[in-house]
Homo-oligomer: A and B are copies of this chain.
Amino acid sequence: MASEEGVIKIKRNKQVILRDNVSGFPKESDMQVVNSGTIKLKLPEGCEGVLVKNFYLSCDPYMRRRMTKYDPGASYIDSFNPGSPISGYGVGKVLESGDPKFKEGDLVWGITGWEEYSLITGTATQSLFKIHNTHDVPLSYYTGILGMPGMTAYAGFYEVCSPKKGETVFVSAASGAVGQLVGQFAKLSGCYVVGSAGTKQKVDLLKNKFGFDEAFNYKDEPDLDAALKRYFPEGIDIYFDNVGGKMLDAVLLNMKMNGRIAACGMISQYNLEQPEGVHNLMSLIMKQVHLKGFLVFSYYHLYGKFLETVLPAIKEGKITYVEDVAEGLESAPAALIGLFAGRNVGKQVVVVSRE
């Protein structure tokens, strides 16, 4: 044993630790970047997991939920453990595998740790996807357009909203990882699409880069109902909701008969102690609207079909994608907090290492 252990490299493993569970608006100081961690670059004896070197990490809105302490079973996803590294979607390379699905050198995306090296074990390996296409598109895209957020946009728009040509589509948080893709799917489906975002720069991006028909800055609109009536005089067939709260309430007043709302996220509510009340649910009845909550986890069986659609569209320039890239694990806490303040422009990614 001693001689075997002798050849195992022990590496420094920089990590982003959650200091304590969070209530209200999270702060950078709720996290801590520690240089003190080490990891043996060798799978433990008999381990069926995967040892991964992390390249890119994904900052996603749903992670806010994991920062708060919930009773077991009270949330669809476990809370982070204070004192342990944060985890989330990422892209990396397999250094060693005890799982027959992966081998050394494979590039993978899935749930990993916010650290340089991660030992992924148990059920977490089931949500690891092997990356087959390793050229033509940046590897970091697998944290976004080709990963969970892309799959979310695809499932939410096509499966949950059942779009038809000529329908009117509204997307909130439209320049984010999911929203920018939903808008482009809507255009590819022959829909009229309007997006909302929180800065002029993002609004310009929506109109000039992603091809939305119209876009507006919700912070400039004292009356969201009036803004929506301006862009949708005939009403909204499909609302892809990433924000919830006041915007959802205003949208409810503007839905068309038999409209569909995909409830994907409610980022406007995540940092409130008490969620805001939504008052206009009677519109669901009057307009026979279907408001459908969904989780991407239920749609991963469509991942192959999704890639077949989106990869060629990216290569042919029919779909474009914007990332906001933060360099180094040290920048990760600020990048995640920035997401909740709307500071990111496009998909927020953290680079841990470029190879």
Point out the residue from B277, B279, B288, B289 that lies within 8 Å of A298, measured CB to CB: B288
| Contacting residues of chain A (277-307) with chain B, CB-CB under 8 angstroms | 277-295, 298
Question: Is B278 a contact of A281 with CB atoms below 8 Å?
Answer: yes
Closest-CB distance, A297 to chain B (whole angstroms): 9
Cβ of A275 within 8 Å of any chain B Cβ, yes or no, is: yes
A248 to B282 Cα, complex, angstroms: 12
Which stretch (A6-14, A21-29, A263-271) binds chain B?
A: A263-271
A208 to B160 Cα, complex, angstroms: 41
Question: Is A76 a contact of B282 with CB atoms below 8 Å?
Answer: no
Point out the residue from B75, B278, B286, B289 that lies within 8 Å of A278, measured CB to CB: B278
Point out the residue from B248, B275, B277, B284 that lies within 8 Å of A293, measured CB to CB: B284
A75 to B282 Cα, complex, angstroms: 10
Residues of chain B within 8 A of A275, CB atoms compared: 279-282
A236 to B42 Cα, complex, angstroms: 46
**Among A279, A282, A289, residue most surrounded by chain B Cβ atoms (within 10 Å):** A282
Interface residues on chain A, number (Cβ under 8 Å): 32
Cβ of A3 within 8 Å of any chain B Cβ, yes or no, is: no
Instruction: Quickly give the copy total for this chain.
Output: 2
Closest-CB distance, A148 to chain B (whole angstroms): 15
Cβ of A327 within 8 Å of any chain B Cβ, yes or no, is: no
Residues of chain B within 8 A of A283, CB atoms compared: 293
CB contact under 8 A between A281 and B248, given known A294-B288, A295-B288: yes
Cβ of A49 within 8 Å of any chain B Cβ, yes or no, is: no
Cβ of A36 within 8 Å of any chain B Cβ, yes or no, is: no
A234 to B248 Cα, complex, angstroms: 29
| Contacting residues of chain A (231-275) with chain B, CB-CB under 8 angstroms | 244, 248, 263-266, 269, 274-275
A213 to B281 Cα, complex, angstroms: 29
Question: Is B248 a contact of A286 with CB atoms below 8 Å?
Answer: no
Cβ of A99 within 8 Å of any chain B Cβ, yes or no, is: no
Closest-CB distance, A157 to chain B (whole angstroms): 16
10 sample A-B contacts, Cβ–Cβ < 8 Å, listed by A number: A248-B281, A269-B282, A275-B281, A275-B282, A277-B277, A278-B279, A284-B293, A288-B294, A289-B293, A291-B291
Given contacts A286-B295, A290-B293, 15 further A-B contacts (CB under 8 A): A76-B285, A76-B286, A76-B287, A263-B281, A263-B284, A266-B282, A275-B279, A275-B280, A275-B281, A276-B277, A277-B278, A287-B293, A289-B292, A290-B290, A290-B292
Sorted from nearest, which 5 A-B pairs have the closest CB atoms?
A277-B277, A284-B293, A285-B293, A76-B286, A291-B291
Residues of A within 8 A of B (CB): 75-76, 244, 248, 263-266, 269, 274-295, 298
